[in-house]
Every structure is written in C-alpha cells, then in structure tokens.
Amino acid sequence: MKLAVTDLNSFYGPAHILFDIALEVGEGEVVALLGRNGAGKSTTFRSIVGLVENRSGRIMFEGKDVSREPTHAIVRSGLGYVPEERRIFTDLTVEENLEVGRQPKRPNAPQWDRDKLFQLFPNLGEMRGRPGGRMSGGEQQMLTIARTLMGNPSLVLLDEPSEGLSPKIVEQMVEAILAMKKEGVSIVVSEQNLHFARLISDRAYIIERGRICFGGTMAELDARPDVRDAHLSL
C-alpha cells in the first residue's frame, strides 16, 4: 500500500472538520476524492501533508507513519502536494518556480527534470522566463503540478486540478495526469467533477461533511446512482 490513512480527525480552532477519515492508495493507482464544496477535500489533503496543525490519526506513507513529521519532511519523503489555490510564486519566473520545487532523486520514484516537464507541459517551455504572476489560470495550474513533480514524488495529492479551467485546458490536464500515471506516480485527485474523475481514476471515495461515505471502484460507483445523487452535485 502506497498511502494508508486511518482515523484522521482535524480541527480548525474549536471546530471539528474531519471525522475518522480512512483512505488507501495502492502503488501506481489514481484515486479520486469526490465531494461538494466544503465537504472536506482540501482539509483532508492539508492534513495529510501536515499543514493543518491540529489533527490526529495515522498516516502511513510507504509503510512509515508520517503523522508526527513536519510538512517539509513529509514532502521530502516523496509525498507531493499540489494546492487548490495554485499558489504560484508570482514574482518568480517559471524556471525559478520549478527550482523551488527541486529535490534530490529518489530511488523508488520516477525522475523529473525541467526538460522532461517542458515536454509534458509544452506551454511552460515557451515561457521559461515569464513571472508566474503574468500567466493564465491554466498555465499556472500546469506550473504548480510541474513544480511539485520537480520534487520527484512517488505520490501526488492533486487538489481540484480542473477547477476554473476551460474545457480545452481540462483535456490537456487529463493527458498530463495519465502521463504521470504511466510514469508510475500514484495520485490522489480531489474533484467535484465526476466526469473528469472518471477519465483518470481507478477508484473513488466520496466525502461529505468531513466523513467518508463511499469507497469503491468507478464501476461500483456507477452502480450506485443513489449515492452519487445524494452526495455529488451534478
């Protein structure tokens, strides 16, 4: 098992946000975390990489419990994170943004470098010297993914990669994610868009009000229209 989260509870101040979250990701798998706005998808990701301080539970990554490690150590062990808000460094150029993400090679994970990423995202290759602040939303989204891949992660948490993008860019995004999968990167992708999730995922979880209320293959999800209609807005 690549990643196994059990009994994850998170709090913002006195407010209890996540309740006993459990999810698993196998080697090389793409798993979707589906849910409406505010269901707890982003908080789940932020909790896994340690950006939510007040949390409890077990987070086994490659057989090791990382729940007590600081964020940078979790990320360095090969668990990459692409935030929803993109958070590009706007004053830094494309190449400098990638440089921030660069980490040493890892034996058990696919290797990435600038040239390989510029092949994956050709748009970025054409604007190496452009400051992040002067890029379109779609270009920024590609840059955040490329930036995380510079850390040679073996698993990536992708927070709503299709949000706010035009259909054409979404298509490119699907291709990029499938290419990552082909390289052997395990992926957890959070989505509201079931159509997008279906194109890339092997399995899916549904999260609602901070609780996981469904887990199974995409085929199993399609067999349960009641679950889909109750928890996802289509």
- Judged by the rule CB under 8 A, the positions of this chain that interact with another protein are 13-15, 49, 51, 70-73, 75-76, 81, 83, 87, 89-92, 96-97, 99-103, 147-148, 151
Residue 96 or 183: the one with the smaller Cβ distance to another protein is 96
Residue 74 or 169: the one with the smaller Cβ distance to another protein is 74
> 160 with 41: CB under 8 angstroms?
yes
Residue 102 or 224: the one with the smaller Cβ distance to another protein is 102
Q: From the CB of 72, what's the least distance to another protein, in Å? A: 5
Helix (H, G, I), strand (E, B) or coil at 108: coil
Q: For residue 225, what is the DSSP state?
A: H
d(CA 181, CA 202): 11
Provide CB contacts within 8 A for 166, sequence distance 6+.
Answer: 138
Judged by phi (left if over 0) then psi (alpha if -120 to 50, else beta), residue 184 lies in left
Q: From the CB of 103, what's the least distance to another protein, in Å? A: 5
Residue 24 or 95: the one with the smaller Cβ distance to another protein is 95
Residue 47 or 201: the one with the smaller Cβ distance to another protein is 47
Closest CA to 30 of 2, 49, 7, 5: 2
d(CA 85, CA 159): 9
d(CA 24, CA 36): 20
Q: From the CB of 82, what's the least distance to another protein, in Å? A: 9
Closest CA to 75 of 150, 21, 8, 130: 150
Q: From the CB of 233, what's the least distance to another protein, in Å? A: 26
Q: From the CB of 119, what's the least distance to another protein, in Å? A: 21
Q: From the CB of 27, what's the least distance to another protein, in Å? A: 21
Residue 13 or 167: the one with the smaller Cβ distance to another protein is 13
